Structure 1
Amino acid sequence: MLLVALAPPSAHAQADRPATAVIASDAERQTWSDPLEALGTVRADESVTLSATVTEIIRAVHFNDGERVAQGDLLVHLEDLEEQAELAAAQARLVEQRNVLARARDLAERNLGARAELEDARARVQQAQAEIEAAQARLAAHRIHAPFDGVVGLREISPGMLVSPGTALVRLDKLDVVDVDFTVPSRHLGAISRGQTITASTDAYPDRRFSGRVTGIDNRIDPATRSITLRARIDNDDGALRPGQLMQTILERDRREVVAVPESVLLPQGEHQYLFVIDREAMTVERREVEIGERREGWVEVTGGLDPGERLVRHGIQKVRDGDAVRVLDVADEDNPIREILRRHRDALDTERNGP
């Protein structure tokens, strides 16, 4: 009897099948953390409302709405003619008393004057100097200067307005950096420390993310809510963020390096997870079981069975089997989404499915 060795039909079929068109993705090494979400409020790095300390009429206003000012800039000038006159009189008295002191010193050196008269003359000079300093202080109270670089608020005063001690003249905020205060449940206190990274967003800029670091942790827990307040600092060079603005914050805890893959590359079967790894030289696929960990917004942590940089079948996973030859149309990532790849290759894929 003649025996003929026949290959399994599946092997013949597999060898005869053309390479399957797929879209790939690479396993990536990413930095992950355990996020803690909270709502926060923006605060200026430095903030002050400058007020009048005397009763007087505004002589001039030297700022406009929302203007940037530098430390030392004159913002508001109150009428100060009387104070200038007092300063001039004090300066004249100082000149007079210095002349008296010079004469008393000359007489004392020639033993023609009493030592007591010389000491009295020196005391009167010191008194005149003190009067000048007092007059200068009164004059300075009529000129309001910026204590630091910042941005002024809306102007609500005008020349000719009478102000009194405590009257608010201008609000000044330092906004090149801002603080964000937010509260978290006190049960997380053991996992919180200064220097941790936060990511913040606001509805005013839905496509933008702001990064910062925790700079302060309150020393008390709110007994009513059992929460604790944290403060993070965020760069704000362009002035996009304003005091009082609501922010959604994400505090990153337990940062670690992981191997991550897009969720769509996984092929679950019961309690097991599989994916297809592409051999870049042979252009064939290997069905491989992997161990997974946490999930993050379309990504999955792979804790075993895969190395970073390995290429995987992402689109077309249902059309391939272990050992199949594949043809990679492109590698999908954030800048090259699957939709765009399919659009570019639509005609070729239609021909492949339906024939010429």
Structure 2
Amino acid sequence: MTRSRTHLSLLIALALLMLSSLLAAQQPTAVIGARASLEPWSDPLEALGTLRADESVTLSSTVTALVAEVSFSDGEEVETGQLLLQLNDSEEQADLRSAQALRDERRNTVTRLNQLESRNLAPRADVEDARSRLRQVEAEIQALEARLANYRILAPFSGRVGFRDISVGTLVTPGTDLVTLDKLDTMTLDFGVPEVSLGMLEPGLSLTATSAAFPNASFDGEIASLGTRVDPVNRNLAVRAELANPELRLRPGMLMQVTLQLSPRNAVVMPEAALIPEGQRQFVLVLQGEGETYRVEKREVRIGARREGEVEILEGLAVDDLVVAHGTERVRDGGEARLIGILDGDTSVPDILLQARNESEKDS
């Protein structure tokens, strides 16, 4: 009798175990979903470019003279018209003072002859000759003042000067390099783009650029102009862009990794993990319903470009459609699924799984 009861207990326990397994199998499979969203999208095109200053010049002398004054320091920020160097112009200043004195004398002569002519005491020809000699000396003064300007080296635009490699007393000659000046708040970036992309390029197209010198920073810019010719050797079109450089971190000559944002548009986007490839075709599992339990519908989609973790949907999905992002291998078309969370910009898969686990332990 005892053996029969033991045997019966074992049968009952086995039946309960099978029943609980069957009930568990009948429960909808837990999945994580994601909603298709409308987001800005573009086709990236990468290239290498070289930076140039927006304005750059090496100032030099046009006369032979000694440096009388140096008015800048290494790397100093200067303004338009600021005096950088003064060359010795004492001889030219003396010539100017002599010409100015002669001008005053000839003005007095013209004034006196005008008075005599008004009383018919001087011929008209003498007055005209005096006026002509006055205009001549005034022209000489203008020429001297123009030459004196060559002895003052001024900043043609606002920017940053380079190293100071010249001292007071240095003899400079025409063509002698005195100082470099670069306008660095805006940089020019030159790079080449394959001719096959010419139809997608236009001034104003946005881009980002990165440098090995600043691995955690990116610099935004836009195309300023396109070259007029395609290089017949490498079939590239020269492109010039402008980058803002408010912190003056970028320098002329730097190598930049350029990423162009071609064909900017708004696209329906979903996580790439939701795709189910079957040969050349792509499918997704759409969740239909509300609450926690949803009906699963397998739907074919046509995809476009991809970027890290996301894919562009051209056909098959609409904005706000809910798809299975994780758990696609455990559910089937026409079946049921239990939604335990929806991915978004603030929620990750580990966060959803941890929250579901905590809720399960609380219910138990």
> Quick check: 1:181–1:229 contact (8 Å CA) kept in 2?
yes
User: What's the secondary structure of 2:160's corresponding residue?
Assistant: strand
Instruction: Describe the shift of the 1:129–1:338 C-alpha distance in structure 2 as closer, same or farther (beyond 3 A).
Output: farther
Task: Indicate conservation of the 8 Å contact 1:198/1:212, yes or no.
Answer: yes
Q: Tell me, which stretches of 5 or more residues in structure 2 are unaligned?
A: 1-18
* Contact 1:195 1:214 (C-alpha < 8 Å) held by counterparts: yes
1:324 is the counterpart of 2:332: no
Q: How does 1:154-173 map to 2 (within 5 A)?
A: 154-173=163-182
Q: Is the 8 A contact 1:265 1:276 kept in 2?
A: no
Query: Which residue in the other structure is 1:239 paired with?
Result: 248
What does residue 284 of structure 2 align with? Answer: 274
Match of 1:135?
A: 144
1:65 deviates by 1.8
2:314 equivalent to 1:306 = no
Q: Deviations over 1:75-133 (max 9, x none)?
A: 11111222222222222221111111111111111111111111111112112211211
Tell whether the 8 Å contact from 1:52 to 1:163 is kept in structure 2 after alignment: yes
Partners of 1:254 and 1:89 lie apart in 2 by 69
Q: How well do the aligned residues superpose, as a CA RMSD in angstroms? A: 3.0
Match of 1:295 in 2: 306
The total of aligned residue pairs comes to 340
Query: Equivalent residue for 2:197?
Result: 188
Q: Where does structure 1 differ by over 6 angstroms across 4 or more consecutive aligned residues?
A: 353-356
Instruction: Classify 1:97/1:284 alpha carbon distance in 2 versus 1 (closer, same or farther; 3 Å).
Output: farther
Give the aligned partner of residue 157 of structure 2. Answer: 148
Cross-structure match for 1:6: none
Which residue does 1:27 correspond to in 2?
Answer: 36
Give the aligned residue type for 2:316: G
From the superposition, tell whether residues 262 and 348 of structure 1 become closer, same or farther in structure 2 (CA, over 3 Å): closer
- Aligned counterpart, 1:228: 237
Deviations 1:228-250 (A, max 9, x none): 21111222222222211111112
- Cα shift at 1:145: 0.7
Partner-residue secondary structure (3-state), 2:227: strand
1:102 aligned to 111, 116, 122, which one?
111
2: distance between equivalents of 1:68 and 1:337? 48
C-alpha separation in 1, matches of 2:344 and 2:62: 66
Identity of aligned residues (%): 43
**1:198 Cα deviation after fit:** 2.3
Secondary structure, aligned partner of 1:157: coil
1:355 CA drift (Å): 9.3
SS for the counterpart of 1:84 is helix
**Does the alignment pair 1:349 with 2:357?**
yes
Which runs of 5 or more residues in structure 1 are unaligned? 1-8
Contact residue 340 and residue 356 of structure 2 kept, 8 A: no
Specify the structure having the higher radius of gyration (Cα).
2
Measured at CA, do residues 178 and 105 of structure 1 come closer, stay the same or move farther in structure 2, by a change above 3 Å?
same
1:184–1:227 contact (8 Å) kept in structure 2: yes
**Structure 1, 101-110 or 266-275: larger mean CA deviation:** 266-275
Q: Which amino acid counterpart does residue 312 of structure 2 have in structure 1? A: E
For the Cα contact (< 8 Å) 1:265–1:312, is it kept in 2? Answer: yes
Deviation at 1:290, TM superposition (A): 3.9
The structural deviation recorded for 1:313 is 4.2
Question: 5 Å matches for 1:258-273?
Answer: 258-269=267-278, 271-273=281-283
Mapped partners of 2:195, 2:88: distance in 1: 54
